[in-house]
Amino acid sequence: MKGSEKAVVTVTIAGDEYTIRTDATPEHTRECAAYVDRTVQEILAQSALVQPQKAVILAALALADQLLRTRSEAEAARQAMERLTVRLADDVAARLAEDTR
């Protein structure tokens, strides 16, 4: 979206419609809403006793858990990549030093 221009997108989550103003593209916003809705529907399918509002909260917790785990995994991968880069740079420097002797 340009500048402060926001898209207005209507999505449905757990049977309720929401109109959202967003900087993201309408397609991305719909994809996010569909993902949330699928998560809510999975929770509702697991237990007929869960009320829709509680299913939304449980879905939010499940999605937050996914996000935090993914961030942690990404950080661990970043750190491993950094260690590997340092090790490779050290190896290259050592070989170059050997070649100049």
- Residue 92 and residue 98: Cα distance in Å, rounded? 10
Report the pLDDT value the prediction gives residue 2, as an integer from 0 to 100: 55
Band (pLDDT 50/70/90 cuts) for residue 100 is confident
Band (pLDDT 50/70/90 cuts) for residue 78 is very high
For the stretch 28-51, pLDDT in tens is: 999 999 999 999 999 999 988 899
Report the pLDDT value the prediction gives residue 93, as an integer from 0 to 100: 93
Phi-psi region of 12 (alpha: psi -120 to 50; beta: other; left: phi over 0): beta
Contacts of residues 35-39 at CB distance under 8 Å and 24 or more positions apart, as own/partner, are 35/63, 36/63, 37/11, 37/12, 37/13, 39/63
Q: Which of 46-50, 52-56, 79-83 has the highest mean pLDDT?
A: 79-83
Band (pLDDT 50/70/90 cuts) for residue 69 is very high
- Angle at which helices 26-46 and 52-99 pack, to 10 degrees? 120
CB 1 within 8 A of CB 25: yes
